[in-house]
């Protein structure tokens, strides 16, 4: 069975929302979602480092 890997919930939500955007709005929306993902990545990394320091 060839099943596509599931996308993260934010990607699925963004893809669905993007269908409602005009072509002019899409680049800015993509920029904003990229910034949010990067912010969340850094927050998770900071939490991981904090947990690592607590467990030692």
pLDDT above 80 (res 56): no
Instruction: Look at the pTM and tell me if it is higher than 0.85.
Output: no
Residue 46 banded pLDDT, cuts 50, 70, 90: very high
Tokens 């927050």 belong to residue: 43
Please give the Cα distance from 32 to 19 (Å, whole number).
16
pLDDT, tens only, 7-43: 676 788 888 999 999 999 999 999 998 998 899 999 9
Judge whether 21 and 29 are in contact, CB under 8 Å.
Answer: yes
Is residue 4 in some structural domain? no
Is residue 23 in some structural domain? no
Is residue 41 in some structural domain? yes
Predicted local confidence at residue 44, as pLDDT: 93
Domain containing residue 48: 31-56
Residue 47 banded pLDDT, cuts 50, 70, 90: very high
Is residue 3 in some structural domain? no
Domain tally, the chain: 1
């Amino acid at each position: 069975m060839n099943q596509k890997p599931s996308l993260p919930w934010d990607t699925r939500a963004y893809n669905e929302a993007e269908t409602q955007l005009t072509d002019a709005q899409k680049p800015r929306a993509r920029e904003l979602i990229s910034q949010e993902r990067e912010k969340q990545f850094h927050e998770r990394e900071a939490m991981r480092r904090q947990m690592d320091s607590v467990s030692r």
